[in-house]
Structure 1
C-alpha cells in the first residue's frame, strides 16, 4: 500500500476505533499459534500425518497476525469501555474459530460445523463433543483437545477477574465494590493478580498431571485429564469419559478433588499464599458450595444404597458425578441417567448451579443463589415489618443496590436465553428432553445433557448442523456471562 494511502487509512475514524481491538486480537492469536506448536511437535515425533494439519493452521494464523500487525503496529493499546465489550466477545469467538482448523484439516476431518462446535465447546470449557472413537485419535489431537480447554480455563479466570468487573458485568463485581476491594489486600495491580493466578493455575495443573500419572494413568491420559480437571472442562480421551477408570476408585476421588479445586475462587488461593490462611474457609461462597455438594452427595448416595448399590461404590460414583456436574466439568464415571427418576431430576437442577465466581467453572455461580436467598429473606421481612430497615450483607460486607440489580438482570437474561434456545432447538425437531437439557448444558457450560442422544453416554454428533450453531452461541453467551454479549445486540450500544 502506498505510504500516503496508508496514512489516510490510519486517519480514518473506523480505523482508530477498531485498530486497538485488532492489535490485541493478533496478540491472542499469536499465543494460540504458540500453543499449537506443542501438539505439532508431539505429532512430528510420532510421525503422524496430522503434523501437516497443525503446520498449515499455524501458518494461517501467523499470516493473519502479520497482516494486522503491519496495519496496527503504531496503535497504542488503550481501550475504552465499549471497545472492551467488543474485544471480549471477538476474542473468544475468533480464537474458537482458529482453534478448529486442525480438526478440519487433521485425521478426524470433521465438517466445518462439527469442528467449530468442538472448538467452541473446548475453549468455553463446556465439554460437549461431536467426536466418536476418541481412543483411536492421535496423541497430538488428544493433547490439542486438552490444551484448548486448559487455555479456556485460564482465559475465563483472567476475563472474570480483570475484564468483566471493569465492564460492570460478572460475578467479581461483588469484590470490586468500594467497601470490599480485595485487590488492595491481595495484589496492588490487576497485572499482578493475573500473573499470580496463572502461576497457581499452572501449579495445580502440574500437580494433577503428576498425581494422575503416579496413580496409574498413561502419560497422555494423565496430561489431558490433568488439564481438563483443573479447567473444569471435561474433555476425555475415551468415549467412556472418566468411566474408563471406573475400576480404580482412587482416581475418581482424585478427580473429584481436582475438579473442586478448579471451581473455587482463585483469588482466595492468592490470599492463602500471602498469609491469609483462613480466607478460603471463611468465604461465604466456598461455604455455600461445600454445603450444597455435601447435601446432594448424601441424598443421592442414600438413594443408590437403598436401591442395592454397595456403600463405597455408591458414595464414590455419586461424589464424582455430583462434583462434576456442579462444577460444570462434565465428566461421567457412570451413566447417571440410569440411576432412577430422582437422580435424573436432581442432576438437572444441579446443572444450573455452577461453582464460585473467579473460578474456571460456569453456571449461575453459587454466590448469585446466595444473594437471591438473602434478597428473598429481606422481602419476607418487609412483608411482616413494613417500616423496617434491613441491610443485606455478604461476606461481612453490605450488598449494594448495584449488585442486587446485577444479580436480577443476569438471572433474567440467563433463563430467557435458556428458554429461547430450548424453543429454537425444539423447532428443529429435537425432543423435549434433548432440547431443554441441551440448552441448559450449553448455557451453563456443563457438557452432557439428558436423554439417549446427548446424555452422559451419548454424543452431540447426531444433532442437525443448525442446532450445533445455536448451541455454540449458547456456550459462548454462558461463558461470557450473557450480558457481555446481549449489550452488543442493543441499538444504544452502537449509537455512542
Structure 2
C-alpha cells in the first residue's frame, strides 16, 4: 500500500493528508455538541479526499524527468496551493470572514509562523485546534523535506555541512538515489519521523495536562512547541494554568528545535559525539546566557537604585528572560508569564531589538525552526576566528580535522551567501511594505516576523502590538509570500529556478 502511495505526486499526497486532518477538529466539534461546525470540517475533509482520489487516478502514471527537483517544486507549490484547501472549512465556519483572511491564517499556520488575524475569543475551540493541527502538519513536512528533499540537493543547511554547491546534490546522495528513488526515500523518512514526532507531541501534551492545563490548551501548546508555530488557543503560555511547571516542560522540548541531533533520526552527517558537544546546542546555550545577562544588567545599570534583595523576584526575572529568549531563538514565539518581571524591572520596557536578533539567528539545521540557523552562524564565527588567528600567527595551521576545515572554508562561504540572500529578502519585503503605505518600524518588524516564521514578533517586539487583522489586502499577500520564502529559504528557490538544473 505504501509503495503504491509513494508513486503519487507529493502534492497529491499532501492534499490527501490535509483531508484526513480535517476529521480531527470535526470529531472535536462533535464531542462539544457543535454539530454545525463538525459538519463543516467533515464535509471539507470528504471533499478534499474525493479531489485527492481523482487527482491520484489522473497522475498515477506520471513520471517526472528529474524526481528530486520535481519534489522540490512540489514542496514549493504545496505552500501556495494547500492553504487554499485548508481555508475551506474556516470560511464555512466563519461566514463573516473573507477568504483572504482565511487563506492568510492557513499560510501562517502551515509555514509555522503562527501569526493570526483573528482575536482569540472570536474562534471556537475546534478552529483553534485546526490552526494548531495545520501548524503541526507544517512542522512535520518541514522535518521530512529537510531529510528527504533538501539534504540530497545540498539545501536547507546541508550545504554548510557538505561544503558543496547547493541544488546539485553530492556524490553520496547520487549513489543513494540510484539505490532508492526519491519517492521511496520520502516515504521511508516520513514513516521514520512521524512516530517520533507524534510521540514527542503526546509526551508534552500529557506533561502539560499533569501540570494543570486543560486538554485543548495542552494539546495546542504541545503542537505549537514541537512545530515551533507558537499557536495558542488563548492568550499563550503566559495565561496557561500550568504556570512555571508548564513553561519548564516546554523549555525542555525547545531542544528539538535547537539541534537536529536531539531528534533520534539518522542523517545530515550525524556524528557519534555526545549531545553536549554539539556546536549548535552550545552556541544556543551561550546566546541564551548572554541575552539573560544583558537584559538583567540593562535594568540594573539603568536604575542603580533598584536592588535584587527579593530572591524570588530576581529568579522570576531570570526565568522570564531565559524562557522568552529560547522561545524566540527557536522562532516559536511563546512569551513567559514572568517576561513582565524581566522587562519592567527598571521600567525600560520590551527590548524588541534583542528579540528580533534572536529570531534572525533561528534554531538548528533540519529542525522546524526558521531564521538563518545556528549552524550557519557558527560556521561564520569559526571562519572569523580562524582569520584572526592567521593575522596574529600567519604561519599557523588550523586544526580540528577535515570536517572543521570544510566548515571554516566552503561551509562558511555557503553560510555567507545565504546570509546575504536573507538580508536582500528583508530589504525587498521592507521596500514592498513601504510602497504599500506601512511605516518603516512596523514594516521592519512584520518583514522579520514573516521571513523568520516568528509571527509573535508583531505582538512583542514593538511598544504597541501590530494587529495583523488591520493590515490591507496587499500587505497580507506580501507577508504571506514572505512566510513561504522564509520557510523554504531563498537558496532553495534559487536552486529550483537555476538553469543548471534544466540540463538533464
TM-score (norm 2): 0.83
Q: Distance in 1 between matches of 2:380 and 2:69?
A: 29
Which residue, out of 217, 220, 231, partners 2:213? Answer: 217
Could you say which residue in structure 1 is the equivalent of 2:109? 122
Given the alignment of the two structures, is residue 37 of structure 1 paired with residue 23 of structure 2, yes or no?
yes
Aligned-residue offset at 1:28: 1.3
Aligned-residue offset at 1:58: 2.0
Aligned-residue offset at 1:480: 0.7
Aligned-residue offset at 1:438: 0.8
Q: Distance in 2 between matches of 1:206 and 1:218?
A: 14
CA distance 1:331–1:110, shift in 2 (3 Å): farther
CA distance 1:464–1:63, shift in 2 (3 Å): same
Q: Distance in 2 between matches of 1:285 and 1:153?
A: 20
Contact 2:398–2:405 (8 Å) recurs in 1: no
Contact 2:128–2:233 (8 Å) recurs in 1: yes
Deviations 1:330-352 (A, max 9, x none): 11235687763682222222121
Could you say which residue in structure 2 is the equivalent of 1:248? 243
CA distance 1:211–1:455, shift in 2 (3 Å): farther
Could you say which residue in structure 1 is the equivalent of 2:145? 159
Given the alignment of the two structures, is residue 299 of structure 1 paired with residue 286 of structure 2, yes or no?
no
Contact 1:233–1:329 (8 Å) recurs in 2: yes
Aligned-residue offset at 1:317: 1.5
Could you say which residue in structure 1 is the equivalent of 2:330? 327
CA distance 1:226–1:268, shift in 2 (3 Å): closer
User: Which range is displaced more, 299-308 or 363-372?
Assistant: 299-308
User: Superposition RMSD on alpha carbons, in Å?
Assistant: 3.5
- For structure 2, the 5+ residue unaligned runs are 1-5, 164-169
Q: Distance in 2 between matches of 1:393 and 1:353?
A: 26
Given the alignment of the two structures, is residue 102 of structure 1 paired with residue 89 of structure 2, yes or no?
yes
Contact 2:160–2:412 (8 Å) recurs in 1: no
Q: Distance in 1 between matches of 2:287 and 2:242?
A: 27
Given the alignment of the two structures, is residue 205 of structure 1 paired with residue 201 of structure 2, yes or no?
yes
Aligned-residue offset at 1:147: 0.6
Aligned-residue offset at 1:148: 0.8
Could you say which residue in structure 2 is the equivalent of 1:364? 372
CA distance 1:232–1:451, shift in 2 (3 Å): closer
Q: Distance in 2 between matches of 1:337 and 1:129?
A: 24
TM-score (norm 1): 0.84
Aligned-residue offset at 1:353: 0.8
Could you say which residue in structure 2 is the equivalent of 1:4? none
Q: Distance in 2 between matches of 1:217 and 1:108?
A: 31
Contact 1:213–1:219 (8 Å) recurs in 2: yes
Q: Distance in 1 between matches of 2:464 and 2:366?
A: 27
Aligned residues: 469
User: Which range is displaced more, 333-342 or 417-426?
Assistant: 333-342
- For structure 1, the 5+ residue unaligned runs are 1-19
User: Which range is displaced more, 191-200 or 365-374?
Assistant: 191-200
Contact 2:352–2:462 (8 Å) recurs in 1: no
Given the alignment of the two structures, is residue 231 of structure 1 paired with residue 217 of structure 2, yes or no?
no
Given the alignment of the two structures, is residue 435 of structure 1 paired with residue 443 of structure 2, yes or no?
yes
Which residue, out of 38, 55, 61, partners 2:42? Answer: 55
Q: Distance in 2 between matches of 1:412 and 1:276?
A: 29
CA distance 1:62–1:271, shift in 2 (3 Å): closer
